[in-house]
A and B are shown apart, each in its own frame.
Chain A
Amino acid sequence: MANTTHAQGVYMQQGAAELVVASGGDITVESGGDINAESGGSITLASGADLTLAAGATFSVNGAAQKSVVGGIHTVTAGEAAAHTLDIVTGLTTLTTFIVMVLDTGNNEITVGADITDTTGTLTVADGGAFAVTENYLVHWFAVGV
């Protein structure tokens, strides 16, 4: 909860056990600067707080560069069924990989033969082999990329 007795954006709590960045305050890590959490230290984001990586920022876990992972369930519309194809906008622009699993109206896996392509972050699932785009099929999709 905010402490309204301080006018400064960044201040030290009495006793110096806590540095507070109040509303409107800021801690800036300039180029070459670093915030290090040593072993046993932690960074915690409370409910309602946000961690944002801007475009071009990198995020790695144990040396492995991480990408965005997004996904959802798309319910096939009548129009898509009539067109024999559907597009899913993933929100990413460059996909590293994707996975699609289609369930029929009885929740049975029915992906085999589906024609699946990606163009600049949009997944297209179309008729192929025995697979036909059918209204109310559920398209479960994952995409990894940037």
Chain B
Amino acid sequence: MADTTHSQGVYLAQGAAELVVASGGDVTVESGGDINAESGGSITLASGADLTLAAGATFSVNGAAQKSVVGGIHTTTSDEATANAVAIVSGLTTIAAIHVQVLDATNNVVTVDADVTEAAGTITIADGVTYNTVAGQLIQWSAIGV
């Protein structure tokens, strides 16, 4: 909860056990600066707090570079069935990999030889030799990228 007794954006709480970044305050880590959490230390975001990585920021876990992972379930419309293709906008611009699984109206996997392509973050699932785009199909999709 905010302490309104201080007018400064950044201050040491009484007893100096806590450095507070008040509303409007800021901690800036310039290029070459660092925040280190040693073993047993922690960084916690409460409900309603936000962690944002801008485009070009990197995030790695145990040496593995992380990307955005997005996904969803798309219900095929009658128009898409008529067009024999479904286009799903993933929200990413460069996709590293995609996975698509199509279930029919009774939840049976019917992906078989669906024609799956990706361009600039949009995934297109179209008729294959056996696979047919049908209204009411559920397309479970996931994509990893940036």
A residues within 8 Å of B by Cβ?
A: 1-3, 9, 12, 15-57, 59, 66-73, 91-92, 99, 101, 103-104, 106-110, 112, 140-142, 146
Task: Assess whether B138 is interfacial by the CB under 8 Å rule.
Answer: no
Residue of B nearest to A42 (CB): B50
Chain B residues within an 8 Å CB radius of A59: 61
> Number of residue pairs across A and B with beta carbons under 8 Å?
245
Task: Assess whether B1 is interfacial by the CB under 8 Å rule.
Answer: yes
Residue of B nearest to A44 (CB): B52
Chain A residues within an 8 Å CB radius of B29: 21, 27, 49
Report whether B112 and A55 are in contact in the complex, using a CB–CB cutoff of 8 Å. no
Complex Cα gap A68–B56 (Å): 19
Report whether A19 and B21 are in contact in the complex, using a CB–CB cutoff of 8 Å. yes
Complex Cα gap A57–B38 (Å): 9
Chain A residues within an 8 Å CB radius of B42: 29, 33-35
Report whether A72 and B96 are in contact in the complex, using a CB–CB cutoff of 8 Å. yes
Interface 9-mer from B5-13, B72-80, B81-89 = B5-13
Measured CB to CB, the closest approach of chain B to A17, in angstroms, equals 3
B residues within 8 Å of A by Cβ?
A: 1-2, 8-11, 19, 21, 23-67, 69, 96-100, 111-117, 128-129, 131, 142, 144
Measured CB to CB, the closest approach of chain A to B76, in angstroms, equals 16
Chain B residues within an 8 Å CB radius of A45: 52-54, 57, 59
Report whether B9 and A17 are in contact in the complex, using a CB–CB cutoff of 8 Å. yes
Residue of B nearest to A56 (CB): B39
Residue of A nearest to B26 (CB): A18
Chain B residues within an 8 Å CB radius of A47: 54-57
Complex Cα gap A46–B28 (Å): 10
Report whether A73 and B113 are in contact in the complex, using a CB–CB cutoff of 8 Å. no
Complex Cα gap A48–B97 (Å): 23
Residue of B nearest to A99 (CB): B99
Given A2-B31, A18-B25, A72-B97, do A43 and B38 touch, yes or no (CB 8 Å)?
A: no
Measured CB to CB, the closest approach of chain A to B27, in angstroms, equals 5
Q: Which of B2, B31, B52, B98 is close to A43, meaning CB atoms less than 8 Å apart?
A: B52
Chain A residues within an 8 Å CB radius of B54: 44-47, 49
Q: Which of B49, B56, B62, B117 is close to A42, meaning CB atoms less than 8 Å apart?
A: B49
Measured CB to CB, the closest approach of chain A to B127, in angstroms, equals 10
18 inter-chain pairs at a CB distance below 8 angstroms, sorted by A residue, are A15-B8, A16-B10, A18-B27, A26-B34, A30-B38, A30-B41, A41-B21, A43-B43, A44-B52, A49-B29, A57-B37, A68-B62, A68-B64, A72-B97, A92-B64, A101-B116, A107-B117, A141-B97
Q: Which of B41, B60, B100 is close to A34, meaning CB atoms less than 8 Å apart?
A: B41
